[in-house]
């Protein structure tokens, strides 16, 4: 088991790319901008949770931009090394192919978590000193961690494609497809479907109610699962109040997205000639 | 025990056969030179030892372990300089060697390794800026980490200048003296001649010769090539020549006759040609070198 060595090498390699520095700067700017836009009127206060739950952070930054960036950071993880030949250097050392795939998932997860943490935590320094912001440390840190986990889910999907793909072009295709499926397309389908199911109920051949279908759709999408968990978390209700079974399912679904795509990629990679 | 054992190994890529029914055993402690022209199947064979590619048929054992099922254990005890690799451009030479140490779960002196392969002064530069020769040295350094029982070096001299190639041979010799088995490939005989105990020559996926350097030398010892300029010669004229004692081979293109023979047989060869009605205009002799033999093997003029 040498995945730690692979993960560390991969992280050290990835953080030296300009991407990670650029992303950190971008996130700092976006979070700061969101805080500025959501600033309270003079004399009033705002909680940091409100800032996090603002549309700019939740919908624009976290569930739209993070998936895209995670896919970009990770799509080349394995196929890039295969095409350049450095995978031969890597596999000359005593790593199993599973060590390579999971080491990559963890290394690239670090490469997305680092800018997420920098992006959220640097602006937090301002929130702490500005009296108008009621800074809730625990939920702020927790939300930052959840955002990083959403990034990890998309990293895992991209590594899955990167492991199974026979060319980086295909890995890019898989990553772009994933993005369009889960971000614009899913949203575009959900609303009309909601209206349709609301009006006519679910078709009789389906052993599910319309509500159940919509819930499944929300759960299946990693960004949907993320919203379920993070909303409950910011309300202080995670696993205690509201629809607890939905929250648990959403948590498990994120875990599935983190584990299953790399495993599927590995199944194929195990048998591949380099 | 054998360090490397290939038993009836075949590898096909689609309908191309890269390696065909290969049997090869390299005992522990030996320095084995794996020779052949580019495309002969050397790298494919090495890739099967490392589980980079899987044989279509046959069995591969390395250090007594199954090359596929126990590949991690094999690579834990093996240092590798692969073919067609690349380094990590954003990481320094030092980081590369540290990574090799962590991967092999050994402690070691990074500077000593870099010193040994001659790139200590570039230790803290990013490997993306290294020349081909420096990358080759760095990768050799990574291979040496943890004093492996087996070194597998695929074309180790490529990219190195003559001085670098000599240092590479010195390292190979030192590793062999330490007790390691060294298996390395080359398409140039001259690079392996002075360090190998034994060589195998591959051609078109098959092992066409396997012998010690001494054995190969004996095979060409005193051998001479007689090049005779004639008015006209046919294949039938050569039968009398081929029948002579000491003649191993005779060919003609009509205007010249080329005969491989013992020096003593020269006069008899000329005599036999003249008896067959061929007019000899001129002749000269060339001593056969190991290089000629190698070229003969790899170009398919001789079969073992």
Question: Using a CB-CB distance cutoff of 8 angstroms, which residues of chain B are in contact with residue A85?
Answer: 84-86
E-only strand ranges, B50-180: 57-62, 65-66, 78-81, 150-154
pLDDT of residue A54: 78
Q: Give the domain ranges of chain A.
A: 2-184+221-271
Cβ pair B3, B149 in contact under 8 A: yes
CA pair distance B23, B55, nearest whole angstrom: 13
Question: Using a CB-CB distance cutoff of 8 angstroms, which residues of chain B are in contact with residue A95?
Answer: 72, 75, 103
Q: By percentage, how much of chain B surpasses pLDDT 70?
A: 94
Q: By percentage, how much of chain B surpasses pLDDT 90?
A: 57
> Which residue in A92, A95, A100, A271 has the most chain B C-beta atoms within 10 A of its own C-beta, making it the best mutation to test that interface?
A92
Q: What is the mean pLDDT of residues B45-50?
A: 96
User: Which of B85, B90, B105 is facing A13, going by the closest CB pair?
Assistant: B90
Q: Is the pLDDT of residue B92 over 90?
A: yes
Question: Using a CB-CB distance cutoff of 8 angstroms, which residues of chain B are in contact with residue A96?
Answer: 71-72
Question: Using a CB-CB distance cutoff of 8 angstroms, which residues of chain A are in contact with residue B73?
Answer: 94
Q: Is the pLDDT of residue A205 over 80?
A: no
Q: What is the mean pLDDT of residues A86-111?
A: 96
Question: Using a CB-CB distance cutoff of 8 angstroms, which residues of chain A are in contact with residue B95?
Answer: 9, 12
Q: Is the pLDDT of residue A218 over 90?
A: no
pLDDT of residue B137: 95
Q: What is the pLDDT of residues A47-87, one digit of tens each?
A: 888 888 777 788 778 888 899 989 989 999 999 999 999 99
Q: What is the mean pLDDT of residues B85-91?
A: 95
Q: How confident is the model at residue B235 (pLDDT cuts 50, 70, 90)?
A: confident
Beta-carbon separation of A88 and B85 below 8 A: yes
CA pair distance A100, A90, nearest whole angstrom: 8
Q: Is the pLDDT of residue B304 over 50?
A: no
More confident residue, B226 or B76: B76
CA pair distance B237, B228, nearest whole angstrom: 13
Min CA distance, A220 vs chain B (Å)? Answer: 36
Beta-carbon separation of A88 and B102 below 8 A: no
Cβ pair A110, A207 in contact under 8 A: no
More confident residue, B95 or B244: B95
Residues belonging to chain B: 304
Q: Report how far Cα A237 is from the mean position of its chain's Cα atoms.
A: 22
| 3 state SS of B49 | helix
pLDDT of residue A22: 85
Question: Using a CB-CB distance cutoff of 8 angstroms, which residues of chain B are in contact with residue A6?
Answer: 103
Q: What is the pLDDT of residues A164-201, one digit of tens each?
A: 998 999 999 999 999 999 988 887 887 787 777 776 66
β-bridge mates for residue B79, sequence order: B151
Beta-carbon separation of A273 and B71 below 8 A: no
Beta-carbon separation of B88 and A9 below 8 A: yes
Q: What is the mean pLDDT of residues A34-58?
A: 79
pLDDT of residue A121: 87
User: Which of B54, B82, B90 is facing A88, going by the closest CB pair?
Assistant: B82
pLDDT of residue B100: 97
Q: What is the mean pLDDT of residues B264-291?
A: 81
Q: Is the pLDDT of residue B302 over 60?
A: no
Question: Using a CB-CB distance cutoff of 8 angstroms, which residues of chain A are in contact with residue B88?
Answer: 9, 13, 86, 89
Q: Are strands B16-27 and B2-13 parallel, antiparallel or unpaired?
A: antiparallel
pLDDT of residue B303: 47
Tell me the CA distances in angstroms from A117 to A170, B4, B159, one per residue in order: 30, 50, 44
User: Helix H segments across chain A?
Assistant: 3-15, 18-37, 48-52, 55, 66-74, 79-84, 86-92, 97-129, 137-164, 168-180, 186-200, 210-220, 222-234, 244-270
Min CA distance, B133 vs chain A (Å)? Answer: 16
**Sign, Cα dihedral of A110, A111, A116, A122:** positive
Name the closest residue on chain B to residue A14, using Cα atoms: B90
pLDDT of residue B130: 96
Q: What is the pLDDT of residues B174-185, one digit of tens each?
A: 999 999 999 999
Q: What is the mean pLDDT of chain B?
A: 89
Min CA distance, B81 vs chain A (Å)? Answer: 8
pLDDT of residue B301: 54
Q: How confident is the model at residue A135 (pLDDT cuts 50, 70, 90)?
A: confident
Q: What is the mean pLDDT of residues B29-58?
A: 93
Q: What is the pLDDT of residues B94-108, one digit of tens each?
A: 999 999 999 999 999
pLDDT of residue B171: 94
The residues near A35 (Cβ < 8 Å, ≥ 6 apart) are A51, A123, A126, A127, A133
Interface confidence (ipTM) of the complex: 0.87
User: Looking at the whole model, is its pTM more than 0.90?
Assistant: no
One DSSP character per residue, B154-190 reads: ESTTTT--HHHHHHHHHHHHHHHHHT-EEEEEES-TH
Q: Report how far Cα B2 is from the mean position of its chain's Cα atoms.
A: 19
Beta-carbon separation of B90 and A16 below 8 A: yes
Interface of B with A (CB under 8 A): 13, 47, 50-54, 71-73, 75-76, 80-88, 90-91, 95, 99-100, 102-105, 139, 142-143
Rounded to a whole number of angstroms, the distance between the first and last alpha carbons of chain B is 26
pLDDT of residue B300: 60
Q: Which two tokens stand for residue B214?
A: 């001494």
Residues belonging to chain A: 274
Nearest to B127, CA basis, from B177, B89, B101: B89
Burial of A131 (0-12, 13-18, 19+ CB in 10 A): exposed
Q: Are strands B150-154 and B78-81 parallel, antiparallel or unpaired?
A: parallel
pLDDT of residue B206: 92
Q: Is the pLDDT of residue B279 over 60?
A: yes
Beta-carbon separation of A9 and B47 below 8 A: no
| B121 φ/ψ angles, rounded to the nearest 5 degrees | -70, -15
Question: Using a CB-CB distance cutoff of 8 angstroms, which residues of chain A are in contact with residue B70?
Answer: none
Beta-carbon separation of A89 and B142 below 8 A: yes
pLDDT of residue B128: 95
User: Which of A17, A94, A273 is facing B75, going by the closest CB pair?
Assistant: A94
User: Helix H segments across chain B?
Assistant: 42-49, 71-76, 93-104, 110-116, 132-144, 162-178, 190-193, 213-220, 235-242, 266-275, 290-298
pLDDT of residue B223: 66
């Amino acid at each position: 088991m040498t995945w730690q060595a692979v993960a560390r090498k991969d992280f050290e390699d990835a953080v030296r790319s300009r991407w990670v520095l650029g992303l950190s700067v971008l996130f700092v700017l976006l979070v700061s901008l969101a805080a500025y836009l959501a600033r309270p009127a003079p004399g009033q206060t705002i909680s940091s949770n409100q800032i996090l739950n603002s549309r700019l952070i939740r919908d624009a930054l976290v569930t739209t931009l993070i998936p895209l960036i995670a896919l970009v950071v990770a799509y080349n993880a394995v196929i890039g090394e295969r095409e350049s030949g450095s995978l031969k250097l890597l596999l000359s050392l005593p790593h199993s192919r599973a060590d390579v795939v999971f080491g990559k998932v963890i290394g690239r997860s670090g490469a997305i978590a680092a800018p997420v943490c920098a992006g959220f935590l640097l602006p937090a320094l301002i929130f702490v000193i500005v009296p108008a912001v009621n800074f809730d440390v625990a939920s702020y840190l927790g939300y930052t961690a959840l955002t990083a986990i959403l990034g990890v889910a998309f990293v895992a999907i991209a590594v899955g494609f990167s492991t199974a793909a026979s060319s980086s072009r295909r890995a890019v295709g898989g990553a772009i497809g994933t993005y369009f499926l889960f971000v614009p397309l899913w949203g575009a389908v959900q609303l009309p479907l909601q209206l349709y199911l609301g009006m006519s109920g679910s078709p009789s051949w389906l052993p599910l109610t319309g509500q159940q279908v919509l819930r499944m759709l929300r759960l299946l999408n990693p960004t949907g699962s993320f919203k379920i968990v993070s909303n409950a978390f910011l309300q202080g209700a995670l696993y205690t109040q509201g629809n607890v079974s939905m929250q648990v399912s959403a948590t498990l679904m994120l875990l599935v997205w983190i584990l299953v795509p790399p495993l599927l990629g590995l199944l194929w990679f195990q048998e591949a000639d380099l | 025990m054998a360090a490397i054992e290939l038993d009836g190994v075949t590898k096909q890529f689609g309908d191309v056969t890269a390696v065909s029914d290969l049997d090869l055993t390299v005992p522990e402690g030996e320095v084995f030179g794996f020779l052949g022209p580019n495309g002969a199947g050397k790298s494919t064979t090495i890739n099967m030892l490392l589980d980079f590619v899987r044989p279509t048929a046959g069995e591969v054992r390395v250090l007594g372990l199954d090359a596929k099922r126990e590949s991690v254990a094999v690579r834990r005890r093996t240092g590798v300089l692969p073919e067609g690799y690349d380094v990590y451009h954003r990481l320094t030479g030092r980081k590369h060697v540290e990574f090799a140490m962590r991967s092999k779960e050994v402690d070691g002196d990074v500077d000593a390794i870099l010193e040994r392969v001659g790139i200590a002064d570039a230790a803290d530069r990013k490997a993306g800026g290294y020349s081909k020769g420096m990358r080759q040295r760095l990768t050799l350094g990574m291979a040496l980490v943890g004093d492996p029982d087996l070194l597998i070096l695929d074309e180790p001299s490529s990219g190195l200048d003559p001085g670098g190639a000599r240092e590479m041979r010195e390292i190979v010799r030192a590793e062999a003296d330490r007790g390691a088995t060294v298996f390395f490939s080359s398409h140039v005989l001259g690079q392996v001649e002075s360090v190998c105990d034994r060589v195998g020559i591959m051609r078109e996926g098959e092992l066409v010769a396997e012998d010690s350097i001494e054995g190969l030398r004996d095979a060409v010892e005193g051998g001479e090539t007689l090049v005779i300029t004639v008015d006209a010669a046919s294949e039938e004229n050569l039968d009398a020549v081929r029948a002579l004692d000491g003649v191993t081979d005779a060919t003609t293109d009509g205007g010249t006759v080329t005969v491989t023979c013992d020096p003593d047989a020269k006069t008899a060869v000329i005599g036999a040609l003249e008896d067959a009605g061929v007019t000899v205009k001129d002749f000269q002799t060339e001593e056969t070198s190991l290089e000629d033999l190698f070229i003969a093997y790899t170009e398919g003029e001789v079969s073992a």
